[in-house]
């Protein structure tokens, strides 16, 4: 992404949303060498955007690398952090993946499972755009909060 394109995207209101702010925070947390310290949010989140052309370049069968796995973990960690922020209860994300990139992502609050998602082809993890990624995260968050509201006794255990 060019500097001019990144500057234009920084004006996008999506970068003000809680989810995108949390995603940037999560990505910076896994950056042990401080590479992302001076990067704008658009550049940090750029690997999450996989256009159809980029997805075609990735083989259909493949094993996810550690960088891709850290992105998947950051995505679900961000959702868990937003659940905690909204309801005040600790949310714990758990990922179980095979070396081939198949598995599950689960978020629990207390004894309650508030999100359960089957993962496939994790080596191709990404969204068409940041707004699609935010929409997916918002759906997961709203369903999780609804489940917590319905079963608050179990969530508080």
The CATH homologous superfamily to which domain 3-155 belongs is Protein of unknown function DUF269 (1.10.3100.20)
Q: What is the pLDDT of residues 12-65, one digit of tens each?
A: 888 888 999 999 999 999 888 888 888 999 999 999 998 888 877 777 777 788
Torsion of CA 85, 125, 33, 92, to 10 degrees: 30
Query: How do the domains of the chain map onto residue ranges?
Result: 3-155
Using a 10 angstrom Cβ sphere, with 0-12 exposed, 13-18 middle and 19 or more buried, the burial of residue 91 is buried
Q: What is the pLDDT of residues 52-109, one digit of tens each?
A: 888 777 777 777 888 889 999 999 999 999 999 999 999 999 999 988 889 999 999 9
């Amino acid at each position: 992404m060019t500097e001019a394109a990144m500057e234009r995207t920084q004006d996008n209101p999506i970068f003000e949303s809680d989810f995108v702010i949390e995603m940037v925070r999560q990505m910076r947390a896994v950056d042990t060498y401080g590479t992302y310290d001076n990067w704008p949010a658009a550049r940090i989140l750029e690997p999450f955007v996989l256009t159809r052309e980029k997805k075609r370049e990735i083989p259909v069968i493949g094993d996810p690398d550690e960088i891709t796995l850290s992105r998947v973990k950051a995505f679900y960690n961000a959702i868990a952090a937003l659940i905690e922020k909204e309801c005040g209860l600790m949310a714990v994300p758990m990922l179980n993946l095979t070396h081939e990139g198949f598995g599950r992502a689960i978020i629990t609050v207390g004894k309650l499972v508030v999100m359960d998602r089957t993962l496939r082809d994790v080596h191709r993890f990404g969204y068409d755009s940041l707004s699609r990624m935010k929409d997916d995260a918002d759906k997961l968050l709203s369903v999780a909060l609804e489940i917590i509201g319905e079963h608050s006794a179990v969530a508080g255990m």
